[in-house]
Every structure is written in structure tokens, then in C-alpha cells.
């Protein structure tokens, strides 16, 4: 079985973000980057399937040189080889999906995993667009996954409800948080990952279908009163607020 | 200008979010045509045309085909869905087939551009599509609902057979805890750092007579049961007191608690998006503040 997992490296959301000149993206200097959290679940699902079926697992990412760290993590988690499509521009979902499609269309993957969305943009488009480009079955927001010749999944709906579905391969699933428990790469596996095949390629991106008009911080809501300063003063203030509202 | 609004159906009922889409269309000055791909018990009230399909409730291939058929007849400039499990799944499929750009989870619309949230609410951008035609998904609760009024002209549309087999809905397990009835909630977020620190949040909850709530990452990490989860995939709560400990305020979490009467957030980052809905933000390390508050309340 040939398995693919698509991953993205994203800025850590705990960072402070400043708009870069050009007004379409944020300044990446001094930011920490990590493997997109949703993609960790996708990698884990792909590795588990490979362990179950004895398949071959490729990991692919589109991004600048720094994205190689995310690929290394996926290799250390159990992927067999990595493809890094070097891209310094900040692509929109359609462009990313098209770039991945061009790389993999002739490969005949049986199963493709992606995260349900990236934590930086949250569009939730790349996986489904890729499935459409490949003209294969796809299902989004999967919180349970089983393979027994066909795949059986549960999609997460709103309010705790799920939908159970069965579909034939080839197929693509996008993975929601909580699908599994992503493993931590062990030191021996991190060492082994260094010897796994990695290829770097370039591929021209199509024109974007979106135009960013402006980017900036959210308007200050103004509603929240900040309680700053000395710890004990903060505590007294909160106790006073609770008492005022008859909550303590 | 015309918009095709695609309503969603859950267990034979049309989701009320259709009125948010109608509200958006009316705000944007668009004529509305509605498509509902599966049978519904009661028709929506609006003035315009309602295409009624006879498909299953989740069947992407068949829903895509029905939408394309209606789009070919109606020539809309915008196709609008909610940014929900139904909408975010169908929208890219339509965008791909139409060759249009897609704008995900719009929170506002102003003179031809849509606003979106980036990096967990810390930035916003305004975007439009290059061609002017767009598939758009709307954030739940972002647009005011249109008042139900009028009676649509009905037209039937037939579903083809899809490729995904529907095995049914899976209920959430019965839960002892019903957060929606809690008068006070103290919630833990990713900022608590590790499971061991949950104890101090529980202790504060106990002292206040509050239930323990949690954000999604805390539940996904297995630190607490799903019944404690607040947000769009958990409980939507409106207690008298909501204390958010180490919760930065992802839109999905805010959707589940922003209508609480008094919201006090404890966060190291004074700019955390939770501040958009909180009444007070205590700028502090919760590992120090929470035990100190518990101690003061016990005294």
C-alpha cells in the first residue's frame, strides 16, 4: 500500500505577530515554527496504517527551507521518505493543493492523509482540493479511522455528534484533533530519520485566486479591563469583583 | 448580484444557520436562491427560490452535483455555506469544480471584501477573489440572522448516487455532567501546561462551587473527559461566571462561552483573543495566580 501524508510547518500561535511590509503576511523573523498540530494526527494515522499494512509512507511539504524541520519530525515519527517542495512565497490553499497535485499525480497513492486545517490560516481547503484534483473519494474532519480493505471513518459534526461512513480506496482523509495520540519521536528514531531519503524539488505555483487587501491586528474590543501588577493586588481585585457580583 | 445559499440538514431538520446566510445576503444586497440537498420537515421562510434535493444528509459527490446543476441554472456570483462540518467539506469541492477562489470562515463583509481571522485571532485580513466570483463559508454567529418571512417558490432536484456509504449517526455517550446547566464554570486551557496542574483549577472550581470546563486541547490531551469541553464541538454555555484559565481564545472556544454573564480570563498575554469577550483579563502566570486566589477565597 502506498501512503502519503501532507504536512505544513506553521508559526507557533503563542508568538506575537507583526504585519510584514507588503501587508499580506506577518514578519517571520524571531518566530518559532512547528509542525501544524492537525498534521501531527495525520502523520500518526499514516504511520499506524503503514504499520498495519506494511506499506510505504511518503511525507510531503510545501514551504521555505525552515519546513525541513517539520519533515524531519514526520520521518522520525515513522515516514519512509520526504519530499520538500521549496517555496518561499506564502501560497493560498488552491496554489498549495495544485503544487502537491503536480508532484504526486503520477504516484498512485492508495491513501492520503492531511490535517483538517492549518492552525495559522484555518481554511480547511488543501486536503479536499487535492482529493478533487485527483478525482478520488475524500472525507474531512475525521476523528476515527479503520482500514480493512475499505476505510471506515467517523466525521465529527457539531455538538458531539459524529457520522459514520465507509468508502473505497484510493481515498483522502483530513484529520481532526483527537483522532489518535501522536507519538513522540524517540532518540533512536530521530537518528534513523537522518538516513532516510529526502528530496528537494521546486515547482511553479499557479496564480492565486485570492487577493489580500489588508492585514492587521484585530480591532481592540475595549470591553476587557486589564488587571495587572502585583499578584496579591490582582487577587484582591478579583475577589472584590466576585463579591460585587455575589459569586463568592 | 445573486447568491446561492446552501442550507444544511441534520436528522431531517434544516439547520437554523440558513437565516444567518440569508442575513448576510441581505446585508450584502444580494438576491438569494437556496439549495437544500436532503429532505426537510419544515420549509424555511424567505422570499425567493428553494431548490429541494432528495439526497442523503452527507454525500459530497451527490451534493456537489446538485449544487452545480443549480449554479448552471441560476448563475450566482457567490456560493455561500456555513463554516461548519457540512460547509467546509462541500465548499472546496465546489470551488474546485467552478474554478473559483474560496474564502473560508468569513467574519464580516464590507464593500466587496471579506474579513478573516488568522493565527488564532491575533491577526485579521481582508480578502476578495481575483475573479469576483467566490465560494464563501461564514463563521457561525458572525452575521445577524434574517427574520423568517415569506414563502419560497419550490423546485425539486434529484440526487445521483454517491460513492461514500452512509452508516449512520453516532451519538455522544450519555454524560453525567451537563455544563449547559452550570451557574459557574472554571475552565482550563492549554496554558495550564500539563495534566498535573489541573488539580489547582479543580480546587478553585470547588471553592467557588463551580463546574470544571476545558478547552479542546485539554480534552484532546486526555486530561479531562469530553463532557467538560466548552466550544463549538462541545457545550455552549451561559453561566453567571466563566473563569478562563490559560485559554487564549480560539474562535471555536469563544463561540461556546461568549454569552456568559461575567467572564474573567487569566492569561500571561494581555493581547490574547480571549480579551475580545472577557470582562476582565488578569495578566498573570496562572500557576501563581490560581492558588493565590483559591487561598484568598478560602480565608
Measured between CB atoms, which of B104, B166, B216 is closest to A177?
Answer: B216
Distance CA B35, CA B43 (A): 11
Confidence of residue A219 (pLDDT cuts 50, 70, 90): confident
Q: Which residue pairs from B263-269 have beta carbons closer than 8 angstroms and sit at least 24 positions apart in sequence?
A: B264/A238, B264/A241, B265/A224, B266/B290, B267/B191, B268/B191, B269/A14
Contacts of A241 in chain B (CB under 8 A): 262, 264, 280
Single out the residue of B175, B180, B201, B207 nearest to residue B189, CA to CA.
Answer: B201
Please give the Cα distance from B203 to B295 (Å, whole number): 10
**CA dihedral over A77, A83, A85, A91, signed as positive or negative:** negative
Question: Which stretches of B165-279 are assigned E, i.e. beta strand?
Answer: 165-170, 184-188, 211-214, 241-245, 262-267
pLDDT band, very low/low/confident/very high, at A57 (cuts 50, 70, 90):
very high
Best of B164, B180, B210, B242 to mutate (most A CBs within 10 Å, chain A): B164
Give the C-alpha separation, A231 to B286, whole Å.
10
- Helix/strand/coil for B11: coil
Query: What is the band of A21 on the pLDDT scale with cuts at 50, 70, 90?
Result: confident
State how far residue A80 is from chain B, nearest Cα, in angstroms. 27
Distance CA A124, CA A118 (A): 7
According to the model, what pLDDT value does residue A106 have?
A: 96
For residue B167, give how far its alpha carbon lies from the nearest alpha carbon of chain A (Å).
Answer: 5
- What is residue B168's predicted lDDT score, i.e. its pLDDT? 95
Contacts of A121 in chain B (CB under 8 A): 104, 118
pLDDT band at A221 (very low <50, low <70, confident <90, very high): low
Domain limits of chain A? 2-201
Question: Are B129 and A210 within 8 A, CB to CB?
Answer: yes
In whole angstroms, give the CA distance from residue B97 to residue A133: 9
Q: Is residue B124 marked as binding?
A: no
Query: In chain A, pLDDT over 70 holds for what percent of residues?
Result: 99
Residues B134 and A1: their CA atoms lie apart, in Å, by: 37
pLDDT, mean over chain A: 95
Q: Which chain B residue shows the shortest CA-CA distance from A210?
A: B129
* CA triple B164-A52-B217, angle to 5 deg: 70
Angle between helices A68-77 and A37-53 (to 10 degrees): 40
According to the annotation, is B83 in a ligand binding site?
Answer: no
Determine if residue B219 is labeled as part of a ligand binding site: no
Phi, psi dihedrals of residue B234, rounded to the nearest 5°? -125, -135
Say whether pLDDT at A4 is over 80. Answer: yes
Give the chain A residue nearest B127 (alpha carbons). Answer: A212
pLDDT in tens, B23-59: 999 999 999 999 999 999 999 999 999 999 999 999 9
Tell if the CB–CB gap between B208 and A232 is shorter than 8 Å.
no
For B179-298, CATH gives 3.40.50.1220
Distance to chain A for B161, nearest Cα, Å: 13
Instruction: State chain B's maximal CA–CA distance in angstroms.
Output: 71
Nearest to B117 by CA among A217, A11, A95, A29: A217
The nearest CA of chain B is from the CA of A62 a distance in Å of 19
Residues A43 and A74 sit within 8 Å (Cβ to Cβ)? yes
Gap between the Cα atoms of B253 and B259, Å rounded: 12
Contact yes or no for A167 and B232 at CB 8 A = no
Asked whether the predicted pLDDT for residue A144 surpasses 80, the reply is yes
Task: Say how far apart CA A132 and CA A130 lie, in whole Å.
Answer: 5
Q: Is CATH 3.30.950.10 what the domain over B2-157 is classified as, yes or no?
A: no
* Contact list, A164 vs chain B (CB under 8 Å): 166-170
pLDDT of residue A15: 84
Q: Is A125 in Cβ contact with B95 (below 8 Å)?
A: yes
Closest Cα in chain A, distance from residue B238 (Å): 15
HSE-CB for A24 with a 13 A CA cutoff: 12
B93 is in an annotated binding site: no
Q: A138, B248: Cβ pair inside 8 Å?
A: no
Which pLDDT value is given to residue B171?
84
Mean pLDDT of B63-76: 98
The answer to the question of whether B233 is labelled as a binding residue is yes
Distances (CA, A) of B218 to A38, A50, B193, B204, B240: 15, 28, 9, 17, 23
**3-state secondary structure at position A177:** coil
B281 → closest Cβ in A122, A166, A227: A227
CB pairs under 8 A between A and B: 245
Rounded-to-integer distance, Cα B162 and Cα A179, Å: 25
Q: What architecture (CATH level 2) is domain A2-201?
A: 3-Layer(aba) Sandwich (3.40)
Domain boundaries, chain B: 2-157, 179-298
> Given pLDDT bands bounded at 50, 70 and 90, which one contains residue B173?
low
Averaged pLDDT, A91-102: 98
At residue A168, does pLDDT exceed 70?
yes
Higher pLDDT, B68 or B227: B68
Q: CB distance A215–B103 less than 8 Å?
A: no
Residue B264: what are its φ and ψ, rounded to 5°?
A: -115, 120
**A137 burial via Cβ count (<10 Å: 0-12, 13-18, 19+):** buried
pLDDT in the model for residue A222: 63
In chain A, residues with a C-beta closer than 8 Å to the C-beta of B256 are: none
- Decide whether B2-157 matches B179-298 in CATH topology: yes
The per-residue b/e assignment along A84-118, b for 16 or more CB within 10 angstroms, e otherwise, is: bbebeebbbbbbbbbbbbbbbeeeebbbbbbbbbb
pLDDT at residue A159 greater than cutoff 80: no
Whether residue B216 is annotated as binding a ligand: the answer is yes
Cα gap B27→B81, rounded to integer Å: 16
pLDDT score, position B174 = 63
Residue B35 φ then ψ, to 5°: -120, 130
Q: Which site among A156, A235, A240, A241 would you substitute to test the B interface, given the most B Cβ atoms closer than 10 Å to its Cβ?
A: A235
Distance in angstroms (rounded) separating the CA atoms of residues B57 and B85: 12
Helix, coil or strand: residue A50 = helix
Interface test with A, best of B127, B161, B185, B295 (most A CBs within 10 A): B127
pLDDT in tens, B97-138: 999 999 999 999 998 899 999 998 889 999 999 999 999 999
Is the model's pLDDT at B143 over the cut of 80? yes
Mutation target to probe the A interface, by most A beta carbons within 10 A, among B115, B118, B138 is B118
Question: Is there a contact between B123 and A245 if contact means CB atoms under 8 Å apart?
Answer: no
* Contact state of A209 with B234 under an 8 Å Cβ cutoff: no
Q: What is the pLDDT of residues B226-255, one digit of tens each?
A: 889 998 878 889 999 999 999 999 888 998
Quote the ipTM score.
0.92
Q: For residue A235, is pLDDT > 80?
A: yes
Please state, rounded to an integer, the average pLDDT across all residues of chain B: 94
Amino acid at each position: 500500500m502506498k501512503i502519503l501524508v501532507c504536512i505544513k510547518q506553521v508559526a507557533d500561535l503563542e508568538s506575537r505577530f507583526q504585519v510584514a511590509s507588503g501587508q499580506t503576511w506577518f514578519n517571520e523573523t524571531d518566530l518559532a515554527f512547528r509542525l501544524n498540530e492537525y498534521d501531527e494526527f495525520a502523520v500518526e494515522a499514516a504511520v499506524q496504517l503503514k504499520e498495519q499494512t506494511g506499506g510505504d509512507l511518503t511525507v510531503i511539504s510545501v514551504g521555505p527551507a525552515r519546513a525541513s524541520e517539520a519533515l524531519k519530525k514526520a520521518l522520525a515519527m515513522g515516514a519512509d521518505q520526504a519530499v520538500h517542495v521549496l517555496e518561499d512565497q506564502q501560497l493560498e490553499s488552491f496554489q498549495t493543493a495544485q503544487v502537491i497535485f503536480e508532484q504526486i499525480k503520477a504516484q498512485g497513492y492508495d491513501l492520503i492523509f492531511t490535517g483538517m486545517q492549518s492552525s495559522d490560516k484555518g481554511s480547511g481547503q488543501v486536503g479536499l482540493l487535492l482529493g478533487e484534483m485527483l478525482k478520488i473519494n475524500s472525507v474531512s474532519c475525521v476523528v476515527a479511522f479503520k482500514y480493512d480493505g475499505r476505510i471506515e471513518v467517523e466525521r465529527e459534526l457539531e455538538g458531539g455528534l459524529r457520522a459514520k461512513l465507509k468508502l473505497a480506496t484510493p481515498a483522502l482523509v483530513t484529520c481532526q484533533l483527537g483522532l489518535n495520540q501522536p507519538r513522540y519521536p524517540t532518540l533512536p528514531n530521530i537518528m534513523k530519520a537522518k538516513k532516510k531519503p529526502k528530496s528537494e524539488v521546486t515547482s511553479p505555483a499557479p496564480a492565486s485566486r485570492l487577493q489580500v487587501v489588508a492585514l492587521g491586528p484585530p480591532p481592540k474590543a475595549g470591553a476587557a479591563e486589564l488587571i495587572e501588577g502585583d499578584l496579591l493586588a490582582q487577587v484582591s481585585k478579583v475577589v472584590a469583583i466576585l463579591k460585587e457580583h455575589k459569586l463568592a | 448580484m445573486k447568491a446561492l445559499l446552501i442550507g444544511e440538514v441534520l436528522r431531517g431538520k434544516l439547520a437554523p444557520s440558513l437565516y444567518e446566510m440569508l442575513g448576510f445576503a441581505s446585508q450584502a444586497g444580494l438576491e438569494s436562491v437556496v439549495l437544500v440537498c436532503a429532505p426537510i420537515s419544515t420549509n424555511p421562510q424567505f422570499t425567493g427560490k428553494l431548490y429541494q434535493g432528495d439526497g442523503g444528509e452527507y454525500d459530497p459527490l451527490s451534493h456537489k452535483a446538485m449544487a452545480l446543476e443549480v449554479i448552471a441554472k441560476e448563475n450566482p456570483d457567490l456560493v455561500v455555506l456555513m463554516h461548519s462540518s457540512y460547509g467546509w467539506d462541500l465548499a472546496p469541492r465546489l470551488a474546485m469544480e467552478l474554478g473559483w477562489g474560496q474564502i473560508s470562515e468569513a467574519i464580516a463583509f464590507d464593500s466587496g471584501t471579506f474579513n478573516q481571522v488568522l493565527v488564532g485571532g491575533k491577526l485579521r485580513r481582508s480578502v476578495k477573489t481575483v475573479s469576483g466570483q467566490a465560494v464563501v463559508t461564514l463563521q457561525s454567529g458572525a452575521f445577524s440572522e434574517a427574520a423568517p418571512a415569506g414563502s419560497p417558490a419550490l423546485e425539486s432536484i434529484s440526487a445521483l448516487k454517491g460513492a461514500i456509504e452512509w452508516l449512520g449517526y453516532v451519538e455522544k455517550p450519555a454524560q453525567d455532567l451537563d455544563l449547559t446547566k452550570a451557574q459557574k464554570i472554571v475552565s482550563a486551557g492549554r496554558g495550564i501546561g500539563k495534566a498535573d496542574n489541573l488539580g489547582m483549577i479543580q480546587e478553585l472550581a470547588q471553592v467557588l462551587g463551580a463546574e470544571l470546563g476545558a478547552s479542546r486541547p485539554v480534552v484532546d490531551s486526555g486530561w479531562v473527559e469530553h463532557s467538560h469541553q466548552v466550544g463549538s464541538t462541545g457545550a455552549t454555555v451561559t453561566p453567571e461566571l466563566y473563569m478562563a484559565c490559560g485559554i487564549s481564545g480560539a474562535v471555536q472556544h469563544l463561540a461556546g462561552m461568549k454569552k456568559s454573564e461575567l467572564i474573567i480570563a487569566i492569561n500571561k498575554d494581555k493581547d490574547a483573543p480571549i480579551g475580545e469577550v472577557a470582562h476582565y483579563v488578569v495578566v498573570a502566570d496562572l500557576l501563581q495566580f490560581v492558588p493565590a486566589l483559591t487561598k484568598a477565597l478560602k480565608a
